[in-house]
């Protein structure tokens, strides 16, 4: 080892409720977060909800085709407007409590038995707005305007993902899982492959570089599959067509991207998996996974995407098991902090980013 090990974050950062509250305010509420796919609100009046902590947002397609996001809160007495999930609004968003009605652009349309006057102007009671933007069919929302655009947050990802037909893909499978670990433990685990030889035998069989414990060899391109592997399934093969336009050099590599703070994006030759992390408590995280395929594939009568789902769930369960073991140990009174080795340098980078954001928001 050529460099001195670096300290991990202190153990309290993975178990303290007050730190989680700071994270929600400084990191999650201030970041563009994946809320869903455009297909969930494809037509005017279609909506879906998005939950984070105690907040619920409503993402709705307007009559003119514009996608908007609002806090899922009535301006009258604060009732939730729509139940969690998705649906269609025929004419107006109506509060289930006192029947205040809002247009799809968020403006207050009517309040029963209340007339406009100098004391009550309907245009003063529009729904609380949130920011919304779309990248390649992925819908992102942000609760606090920090002045950073979605393209700026995505950085170089759009260029790296350009060969993949993300905008045209559709969700073919969806799964939720709650894991007994702090969300940062899951991110840190994603950022290193020091654990791969012992935890992921199937993955290191597909990606020989991962046997060394390294994430990538060049810091420029994703690692290559071994000969015979085409995609991320149990046997490395697929009956689905390969995405048109993928060069051999692209489709023969394992593409896994972190979209900070909480999205893992896996880009394969015949499908894409988006896996997002949502803190439930300092020691528990909800994981939402969606598998995206070409529409023609999903429309086939004999369509079966179980090979893709089962392989990603296999890798996930392997990761989640060791992450839960970390959480169980990290709460020990003896554990002030751990150490990061050279193979875990990207974990150190993420931790530096995390502390910078957390500390910069401490006084806001």
CATH number of 33-147: 2.102.10.10
The 10s digit of each residue's pLDDT in 322-357 is: 999 999 999 888 888 999 999 999 999 999 999 999
Give me the phi and psi of 288, to 5 degrees please. -110, 120
Segment (H or E) for 88:
strand 86-88
Domain positions in the chain: 1-30+155-364, 33-147
What pLDDT score was predicted for residue 115?
85
Give the lowest-confidence range in 63-67, 247-251, 253-257, 299-303: 247-251
Res 363 pLDDT > 50: no
CATH number of 1-30+155-364: 3.90.380.10
Alpha helices in 96-200 (DSSP H): 150-154, 157-161, 183-190, 196-199
Nearest residue to 125 (alpha-carbon basis) of 78, 81, 75: 75
Confidence of residue 362 (pLDDT cuts 50, 70, 90): low
Cross-strand bridge partners of residue 178: 286
Res 109 pLDDT > 60: yes
Q: What is the mean pLDDT of residues 127-147?
A: 97
- Take residue 75 and report the two structure tokens written for it: 């301006």
Segment (H or E) for 57:
strand 55-61
Mean pLDDT, all residues of the chain: 94
Q: Which of residues 250 and 166 earns the better pLDDT score?
A: 166
The 10s digit of each residue's pLDDT in 179-191 is: 999 999 999 999 9
Confidence of residue 219 (pLDDT cuts 50, 70, 90): low
Let me know how many helices (H) and strands (E) the chain has, helices first. 10, 17
* Residue whose entry in the numeric block shows the structure tokens 């433990």: 185
What pLDDT score was predicted for residue 218?
60
Nearest residue to 67 (alpha-carbon basis) of 99, 34, 40, 31: 40
* Residue whose entry in the numeric block shows the structure tokens 């350009």: 162
What pLDDT score was predicted for residue 217?
61
The number of angstroms, rounded, from the C-alpha of 289 to the middle of its chain's C-alpha atoms is 8
What pLDDT score was predicted for residue 1?
52
Res 25 pLDDT > 80: yes
- Take residue 358 and report the two structure tokens written for it: 């957390």
Res 305 pLDDT > 70: yes
């Amino acid at each position: 080892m050529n460099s001195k090990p670096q300290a991990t974050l202190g153990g309290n950062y993975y178990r303290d409720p007050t730190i989680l509250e700071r994270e929600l305010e400084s990191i999650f509420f201030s970041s563009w977060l994946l809320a869903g796919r455009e297909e969930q609100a494809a037509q005017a009046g279609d909506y879906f909800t998005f939950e984070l902590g105690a907040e619920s947002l409503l993402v709705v397609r307007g009559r003119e085709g514009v996608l908007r996001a609002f806090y899922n809160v009535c301006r009258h007495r604060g009732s939730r407007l729509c139940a969690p999930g998705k649906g269609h609004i025929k004419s107006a968003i109506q509060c289930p409590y006192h029947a205040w009605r809002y247009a799809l652009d968020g403006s207050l349309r009517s309040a029963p038995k209340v007339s406009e006057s100098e004391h009550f102007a309907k245009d003063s009671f529009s729904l609380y707005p949130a920011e919304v933007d779309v990248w390649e069919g992925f819908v992102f929302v942000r609760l606090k305007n920090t002045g950073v655009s979605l393209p700026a947050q995505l950085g170089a990802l759009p260029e790296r993902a350009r060969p993949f037909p993300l905008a045209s893909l559709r969700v073919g499978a969806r799964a939720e899982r709650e894991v007994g670990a702090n969300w940062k433990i899951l991110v840190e685990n994603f950022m290193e492959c020091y654990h791969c030889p012992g935890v992921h035998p199937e993955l290191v069989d597909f990606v020989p570089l991962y046997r060394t414990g390294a994430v990538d060899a060049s810091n420029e391109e994703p690692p290559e599959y071994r000969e015979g592997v085409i995609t991320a399934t149990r046997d490395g093969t697929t009956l689905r067509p390969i995405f048109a336009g993928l060069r051999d050099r692209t489709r023969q590599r394992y593409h896994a991207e972190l979209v900070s703070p909480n999205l893992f994006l896996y880009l394969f030759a015949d499908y894409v998996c988006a896996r997002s992390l949502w803190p439930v408590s300092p020691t528990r995280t909800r994981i939402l996974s969606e598998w995206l395929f070409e529409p023609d594939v999903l429309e086939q009568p004999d369509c079966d995407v179980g090979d893709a789902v089962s392989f990603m769930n296999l890798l996930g369960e392997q990761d989640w098991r060791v992450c839960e073991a970390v959480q169980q140990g990290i709460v020990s009174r003896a554990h002030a902090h751990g150490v990061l080795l050279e193979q875990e340098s990207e974990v150190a980078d993420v931790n530096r980013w995390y502390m910078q954001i957390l500390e910069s928001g401490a006084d806001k």
